[in-house]
Chain A
């Protein structure tokens, strides 16, 4: 679905954000890119969204190279990127408005999404009056309104408190299981990557950052985990083991994963 092939990204002024990064994200799966601050993981995501161009290598999505923003790709920002001057509904309906959908039709199509995300009661509220967790749900509603095949998320849960973060993660999993959607998320949280992703890429270094290792967490893709009454995966030994492996790869120990 998304493939990074030997991607290097250089900023104006010559600073190299990432160098020679390759990663393949499976269609319909959740992939996490983990790394310390400044390793260039956000730059990779922005490049996948078509917001910046690699200085070398290629990024492919939707069966072709990424040349610019694509309507089949949605990006959720770390600070949510909501427009403060638009109501919750106005923010969620933005992709439809850009497509020239009429106001009535926008209302009709956004309503079930707001409903699904528990935002219906706040349809007319300004984002500035909402809590962080709700702002993030508005950002996700906006992403879902464009019915994307590919959802890119930049540190989506990092500004939420611990409990809100855990329920937001479960919420994301529930949304994902209802849709044929590929998700790539960037995070610095080891637990978040190990909890959500079927595949985890670990990055390291700084200016430029590089891919260090790749881990598979098959349990995350298995349906058994989502059966009603299934125990919390956060206390599963496989989860703890994945966390330990990712942590040691981040620290730069001899990587137990597959070299990326």
Chain B
């Protein structure tokens, strides 16, 4: 049976069902449904909901609970996610897993509260200081908001890393029918690294400071090796009508939803157009895109920004095939209609 539910609520629900019992946050539009859901539900099941004094405080509370070996989550939107970058960098360096949800609003600065994909660089390039990456999953439906939350917790625990769910105001605020069957859960390594007091074992330490001779270099290569495993195992994408496509639209999240309608309309007009939708934004599905570039004649990248994922598409596709771009930076009434993307498809169709 399916439930009609809001995207933000689907994430909160999935977090509880995935065994998360610690949530720390700070109010910001358009993600408040998540803390409000958990503030209501956690007390009933012995979970901890705490509204922190700032996103900086909140992410460090997540760090503390996660360092204790517990599943912990935080959610926010652009400005709040910016404040968390210090904590995310420390968690990456100390290898402390947690799930960070960004229901994107528009920036830069205070920007606005409309859907945006302006935080692509921030999410996929590490975001904070130092040499690290975080896995990033981009849902495009309420169902995926739910399913990818389970996945995010598993990937976080498997690789001991913070994981980002990158959605936006549209996905967070809209309602869709949700199938609440749980996706298969992974067998995960025990959290022997957790700080739980040293009874029966030697004292343990979680840190990111390495001052000894070549210690930090070794640590950074250790993280790199872990990232290579993530690149090898965690790439995810969706393909729609790619097989015979001459033009491939590349889009993620909300932009992909709108593009899908445009692609289907273009097919009705006899245009051979397909959609490639990266679900993991890091690791990026570059190999698959490289393969597609062998048969496709041209690409059209659609984003709700002025061109960020565009760089990854260009790097994957190479210089032999044209990569066109249709960007709609966010703001009131800036979300494109399918017909506007269809116009672009017609314009660049090879």
- Are the chains A and B members of one assembly? no
Please give the residue numbers on chain A whose beta carbons come within 8 Å of chain B beta carbons, in ascending order.
none
